[in-house]
Amino acid sequence: MAEPIIKCENISYRYESEEQDTLKGISLEVSKGEFIGVIGANGSGKSTLAKMFNALLIPDSGKVYINGLDTTIEENAYPIRQKVGMVFQNPDNQIVATIVEEDVAFGPENLGIESSLIRDIVDKSLLTVGMFDYKMHAPHLLSGGQKQRVAIAGVLAISPEVIILDEATAMLDPEGRREVIETIHKLNNEKHITIIHITHNMSEVVDADRILVMSNGELILDDTPRNIFSLGKKLEEFNLELPQFTSLASMLKEAGLDINNNILTLEEMVEALCQLK
Amino acid sequence: MPIEIRNVSYTYSPGTPFEIKALDNIELTIEDNSFVAIIGQTGSGKSTLIQHFNGLIVPTQGVVEVNGISTQDKKDRKKVRSQVGIVFQYPEHQLFEETVFLDIAFGPKNMGYSDEEVKQLVENAMKAVDLDLALLEKSPFDLSGGQMRRVAMAGVLAMSPKMLILDEPTAGLDPITRNKVLNLIKELRDKQSITIVIVTHDMTEVAHFADRVVVLNNGQIVLDGIPKDVFGETKALKSIGLDVPPLTALFTSLVNKGWNVPSVVLTLEEAAKAIKDELGVGKNVD
């Protein structure tokens, strides 16, 4: 079997100002090309975990391996950050240049890539996220969804194998969310980039390959969306909720309807209901 | 204490190459004790509009009156601001004092209340947002995200506003904390008769909590009504990049498939009942 792209072995971490561990003995593996959703309450450790994946943070104990590279070894930090790109919550805090294409070129320039190649990399990255027509625009005049797609293009320009989105949709309007979600699915499907998507919006992870549920610094669930959301009300203990259609299905099931309570999407719900009619 | 917005337009940087008309001829009355949600895409004018509600921005054209007082006159603006509190996006970023008490007390102190009154206002505000009084002497920066947001809300509430405007009060909160914050906001309206206006991108939130929805697009009001009516306008909403709540999408699909159910349903309970009725479940139980 191929080596996992991300491997955590019993990692723990405590911030200096904190009295207890933010991460408590987490072990997990992510295979290349997976689409992983990460959910959990505010303060459950999701973002801290994500920062372990590109050596922004180093565990106090335990090991993180990215494509086999140990993050505790300092020389590995650069190659790891080239493999794992991150997109953060606030679109205004991660754009550095005054023209879209310069912003996207920032990464490859810093990697010392020849300028003749950078032109091509930037164009391709912007094309992939559907922002090519905006390459000469000023980033501050773009919508939130467009800014986040530029941020994704900036990450793409360093040809990463993994992209982590740390609540990258939280500040966006519905259309902006849709744009970002479609973009990351496209990168996952067509370029086989591994996606780690952290969100509070359950509907954004119903079609993930796997969901990691964090609670109080522990990884308490690691399973398919269908198995996780069929836990029903138990999820509320972890400050989570069910997708609306899953909630409705369980209510109908309780009322005696012959319906599966692990329905996740609108299409599945319409189909299930029409079979009952 | 209604807010009346008459024929209001607002232009940023007028007369320069960067001129942008953010609001275009807005007519809007916010009635006392209502819970209004303002929705619209980024850049549709929502934030510009709410800043007119307490005179942070005064209109380029038209009039804004709060309880009959125009925001145009600088002398009156202080009065307006004591009545209309605005909680901005990610308000926890604006916390600055050493203790929770000092942070919440900042507003009422500046308004000239006595120490005793300030203490009472701070405690009442903390109770209203369900914060434990044991936190009074803690640093606001040692609290959880949800707590910090509630401290920031308490800071505005401590000025005893008649009306509270909240710009995306639940952005970045987990689902349970989000519902907690929304229920607290609803209680302010129900128990203290504080008029509520929220700006949000979450349509499920609108469906559950608001009794009126105002939809902005390109600086104009394009829809305005009760959630049931506004979410019935699926096509109009989609054309300006907005969503309908998931349950509304479901019922629209069912109606298209020939089901005899309402096309707009707002809550899970309503949805379950409509489906059971249509399928004849619960009526003729064996």
**DSSP string covering B13-65:** STTSTT-EEEEEEEEEEE-TT-EEEEE--TTSSHHHHHHHTTTSS--SEEEEE
Cβ–Cβ gap B172/A176 under 8 Å:
no
Q: Residues B109-115: what's their mean pLDDT?
A: 92
**pLDDT of the residue at B1:** 67
Instruction: Return the residue of B nearest to A247 by Cα.
Output: B268
**pLDDT of the residue at B140:** 92
Cβ–Cβ gap A42/B172 under 8 Å:
yes
**pLDDT of the residue at B283:** 55
Query: Is B141 near chain A, with CB under 8 Å?
Result: no
Q: Which two tokens stand for residue B77?
A: 């603006």
The helix (run of H) or strand (run of E) holding residue B199 is strand B195-199
**How sure is the predictor about A1, in pLDDT bands with cuts at 50, 70 and 90?**
low
Instruction: Return the residue of A nearest to B148 by Cα.
Output: A42
pLDDT 10s digits, A159-192 = 999 999 999 998 888 888 999 999 999 999 999 9
Instruction: Return the residue of B nearest to A90 by Cα.
Output: B172
- Mind spelling out the 3-state secondary structure of B214-255? EEEECCEEEEEECHHHHHCCHHHHHHCCCCCCHHHHHHHHHH
Query: Is B273 near chain A, with CB under 8 Å?
Result: no
3-state secondary structure at position A221: strand
**pLDDT of the residue at B286:** 43
Cβ–Cβ gap A266/B201 under 8 Å:
no
Lowest mean pLDDT among A137-141, B31-35, B209-213: A137-141
Q: At what angle do helices B145-157 and B100-110 cross, to 10 degrees?
A: 20
Q: Which two tokens stand for residue A114?
A: 């020849």
Nearest-CA distance B175 → chain A (Å):
6
Q: Which of A21, A86, A89 is nearest to A53 (CA)?
A: A86
Query: Is B243 near chain A, with CB under 8 Å?
Result: yes
On average, the pLDDT of chain B sits at 92
Instruction: Return the residue of B nearest to A19 by Cα.
Output: B142
CATH topology of domain B3-229: Rossmann fold (3.40.50)
Q: What is the pTM of this model?
A: 0.89
Nearest-CA distance A160 → chain B (Å):
26
Sheet containing strand A6-13, edge to edge, reads: A23-30, A6-13, A61-66, A69-70
Nearest-CA distance A275 → chain B (Å):
11
| Residues 146-205 in A contacting B (C-alpha not used; CB under 8 Å) | 167, 170-177, 200, 202-203
- What's at B98, amino acid-wise? E
Nearest-CA distance A98 → chain B (Å):
16
Nearest-CA distance A240 → chain B (Å):
6
The pLDDT of residue B2 is above 70: yes
Query: Is B242 near chain A, with CB under 8 Å?
Result: yes
The C-alpha atoms of residue A212 and residue B210 are separated, in whole angstroms, by: 33
Q: Which two tokens stand for residue B66?
A: 């709060």
Going from N- to C-terminal start, the domains of chain A cover: 32-55+77-229, 243-277
CATH class held by domain A32-55+77-229: alpha beta
Name the segment(s) of chain B with CATH classification 3.40.50.300.
Answer: 3-229
Query: Could you tell me the end-to-end alpha-carbon distance of chain A, in angstroms, rounded to an integer?
Result: 46
Cβ–Cβ gap B246/A203 under 8 Å:
yes
Query: Is A124 near chain B, with CB under 8 Å?
Result: no
Cβ–Cβ gap B204/A247 under 8 Å:
no
Q: Give how far the C-alpha of residue B208 lies from the chain's centroid of Cα atoms, to the nearest Å.
A: 13
Q: Residues A228-241: what's their mean pLDDT?
A: 91
**pLDDT of the residue at A111:** 85
**pLDDT of the residue at A261:** 87
